C-alpha cells in the first residue's frame, strides 16, 4: 500500500511524534510511506525509517507558497493509494491539488481532527470549527478520535462523509531503563535518586495549564519536601512559567528542562506522571507513554482521558482546574505505593488492550483498505 501522511509541520509535538511512530510501523510492514509537512526536527527520524519526505511551506498567507506546495503534492497525491490528513492546512492544500490536477481520480482520503477549541488559547469556536472543516475537505472517511472532537465534527461534516470512532495514536511497548540509567539521568538533572520525581510533558502553552502543575507542586512540597517536579517541553510561556516558579521559591524543586528526545528515559525515572492540560482533544500521547512504562498517571477529568484512564483503576482523575485536588492525588500516590502500583498496572493493561502502536496500525490498515475498496466501486 502506498500511504501519504500529511500534517502541518515536523516540529516536536504529540501529533508529530505519533506520525513518526505510524511511519515506522507502516514501513516495517512493507508499505511505502510518504510524509508531507513543513520541515522540523523530526524530519531526520522519518528519513531514517525509509519513508519519503515532501518538504512543504504550509504558508497560507503566500499565494506563491501555496502554488509551490500544490505542485509538490500533485504527483504524490495521485500516486498514493490512501492519503491521511492530520491538520487543517494539510486538508486545505490537498483539496485544490486533487481538484486541479486529478479530476478523474476517485478520492481515497481519510482525515483526523486532532484538536478542538479551547478557551486557554483565546480561540473563538467559529475558528475552531473552521479548522475542523478544512481538515475534512475532500475526505471520504473521517476518524473521530474522541467524543468532544466528534461533537465538533458533527457540526462541520458533509452528508457523504463516513464517520468511524477510532484512535490514531499509539505507542510502542517501552523497555524500562536500568536502575543505573535512571540514577544517571536524575544526577544530570541535579536530583538525588532517592527523591520522588513527578513529571509532566508538553508544549509550554496556555492549553497545557502548567501553572496548575506548579501550584500543585507548591502544595505537595509542603508535606513532601523531598519531591522534585519536572516540566519537559518548550514554548511561548517558558519565561512566564519560570517567573511563577521563582516567585513561589520553587527554583530548586521545580525544573523546566526544555524540549527533550529522551522521553523514555525520563519517564522510566519518574514516580508519578501528570497530564496537566485541561482542553479536550485526542488521548494525550504522553499518558500512553507513561502507561507503557507502568507509571501511575494523574489527569484532569476530561472526556478524552476516559479512553485511557478509569479513575482508581488505571489512573487518577481530578476535577478540572483544581490544583489542590491534583496535589492531594499526587500525595496519595507518594504515600500509598501499593495503590500507586495497582493503578499503574491497571493503566499498563488498558494500554496493552487499546493503544499499542501495532493495534492502532492494524485498525488503520483496515480503515484504509475499506476506503480504497469503497472508492473503487
Same domain, 144 and 191: no
Residues 275-284: pLDDT tens digits?
988 776 667 8
Return the percentage of the chain with pLDDT > 90, whole number: 64
Residue whose C-alpha cell reads 502507561 in the numeric block? 291
Q: Are residues 349 and 363 in the same domain?
A: no
Residue 288 pLDDT > 50, yes or no? yes
pLDDT class of 331 with cuts at 50, 70, 90: very high
Confidence class of residue 375 from pLDDT cuts 50, 70 and 90?
low
Please tell me the predicted confidence (pLDDT) of residue 307. 86
78-92, 111-125, 212-226, 238-252 — which is least confidently predicted? 111-125
Same domain assignment for residues 74 and 144:
yes
For residues 97 and 122, state if they share a domain.
yes
The pLDDT assigned to 117 comes to: 52
Residue 196 above 80 pLDDT?
A: yes
The string of pLDDT tens digits covering residues 140-158 is: 999 998 888 898 899 999 8
Cell of 37: 509537512
Residue 306's CB is within 10 A of a number of other CB atoms, namely 15
Confidence check: pLDDT of 258 > 90:
yes
Residues 6 or more apart whose CB falls under 8 angstroms from that of 180 comprise none
Taking residues 36-56, report their average pLDDT: 94
Confidence of residue 97 (pLDDT cuts 50, 70, 90): confident
- Euclidean distance between CA atoms 23 and 13, whole angstroms: 15
Q: Which residue has the higher pLDDT, 369 or 122?
A: 369
What CATH number is associated with residue 51? 3.40.50.2000
Residue 95, pLDDT above cutoff 90: no
Cell numbers describing residue 160: 457523504
Do 221 and 312 share a domain, yes or no?
yes
Task: Based on the fold, state whether residues 93 and 195 are members of the same structural domain.
Answer: no
Model pLDDT, residue 267: 96
Q: Which residues of 235-272 are buried (b: 16+ CB within 10 A; e: fewer)?
A: eebeeebbebbeeeebeebbbbeeeeeebbbbbbbbbb
User: Are 7 and 129 in the same domain?
Assistant: yes
To the nearest 10 degrees (0 to 180), the angle between helices 285-292 and 337-354 is 110
Number of C-beta neighbours around residue 367 at 10 A: 18
Same domain for 214 and 142: no
Supply the DSSP string of 185-207, one letter for each residue: HHHHTT--TTS-EEEEES-SSGG
Q: How many domains does the chain have?
A: 2
Task: Find out whether 275 and 156 touch, Cβ atoms under 8 Å.
Answer: no
Q: How confident is the model at residue 194, as a pLDDT?
A: 73
213, burial (CB in 10 Å: exposed 0-12, middle 13-18, buried 19+): buried
Tens of pLDDT, residue by residue over 171-183, are 999 988 888 999 8
347 and 368 housed in the same domain? no
Q: Which pLDDT does position 146 carry in this prediction?
A: 86
Higher pLDDT pick, 281 / 44: 44
Does residue 339 sit in the same domain as residue 371? no
Q: How many residues are present in the chain?
A: 377
Report the pLDDT value the prediction gives residue 173, as an integer from 0 to 100: 92
Residues 300, 186 share a domain: yes
**Helices (H), ranges, 1-111:** 14-28, 43-48, 63-79, 88-101
- Its domain, for residue 336, covers 179-354
365, 342: one domain: no
Q: 205: helix, coil or strand?
A: coil
Amino acid at each position: 500500500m502506498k500511504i501519504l501522511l500529511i500534517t502541518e509541520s515536523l516540529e516536536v509535538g504529540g501529533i508529530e511524534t505519533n506520525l513518526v511512530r505510524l511511519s515506522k510501523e507502516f514501513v516495517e510492514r512493507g508499505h511505502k510511506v510518504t510524509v508531507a509537512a513543513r520541515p522540523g526536527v523530526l524530519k531526520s527520524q522519518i528519513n531514517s525509517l525509509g519513508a519519503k519526505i515532501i518538504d512543504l511551506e504550509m504558508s497560507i498567507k503566500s499565494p506563491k507558497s501555496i502554488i509551490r506546495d500544490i505542485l509538490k503534492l500533485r504527483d504524490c497525491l495521485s500516486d498514493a493509494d490512501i492519503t491521511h490528513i492530520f491538520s487543517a492546512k494539510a486538508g486545505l492544500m490537498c483539496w485544490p491539488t486533487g481538484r486541479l490536477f486529478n479530476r478523474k481520480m476517485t478520492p481515497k482520503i481519510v482525515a483526523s481532527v486532532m484538536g478542538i477549541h479551547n478557551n486557554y488559547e483565546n480561540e473563538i469556536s467559529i475558528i475552531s470549527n473552521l479548522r475542523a472543516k478544512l481538515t475534512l475537505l475532500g475526505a471520504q472517511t473521517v476518524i473521530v478520535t474522541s467524543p468532544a472532537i466528534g461533537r465538533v465534527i458533527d457540526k462541520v461534516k458533509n452528508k457523504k462523509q463516513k464517520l468511524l470512532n477510532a484512535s490514531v495514536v499509539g505507542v510502542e511497548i517501552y523497555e524500562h531503563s536500568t536502575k543505573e540509567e535512571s540514577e544517571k539521568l536524575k544526577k544530570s538533572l541535579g536530583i538525588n535518586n532517592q527523591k520522588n520525581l513527578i513529571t509532566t510533558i508538553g508544549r509550554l502553552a496556555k492549553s497545557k495549564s502548567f501553572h496548575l502543575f506548579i501550584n500543585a507542586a507548591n502544595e505537595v512540597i509542603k508535606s513532601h519536601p523531598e519531591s522534585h517536579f519536572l516540566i519537559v517541553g518548550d514554548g511561548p510561556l517558558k519565561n512566564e512559567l519560570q517567573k511563577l516558579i521563582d516567585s513561589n521559591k520553587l527554583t530548586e524543586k521545580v525544573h523546566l528542562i526544555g524540549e527533550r528526545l529522551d522521553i523514555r528515559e525520563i519517564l522510566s525515572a519518574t514516580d508519578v506522571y501528570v497530564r496537566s492540560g485541561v482542553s479536550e482533544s485526542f488521548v494525550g500521547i504522553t499518558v500512553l507513554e507513561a502507561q507503557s512504562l507502568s507509571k501511575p498517571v494523574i489527569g484532569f477529568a476530561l472526556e478524552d482521558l476516559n479512553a485511557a484512564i478509569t479513575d482508581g483503576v488505571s489512573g487518577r482523575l481530578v476535577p478540572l482546574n483544581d490544583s489542590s485536588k491534583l496535589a492531594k492525588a499526587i500525595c496519595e500516590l507518594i504515600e500509598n505505593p501499593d495503590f500507586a502500583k495497582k493503578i499503574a498496572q491497571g493503566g499498563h493493561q488498558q494500554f496493552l488492550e487499546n493503544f499499542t502502536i501495532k493495534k492502532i496500525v492494524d485498525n488503520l490498515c483496515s480503515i484504509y483498505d475499506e476506503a480504497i475498496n469503497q472508492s473503487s466501486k
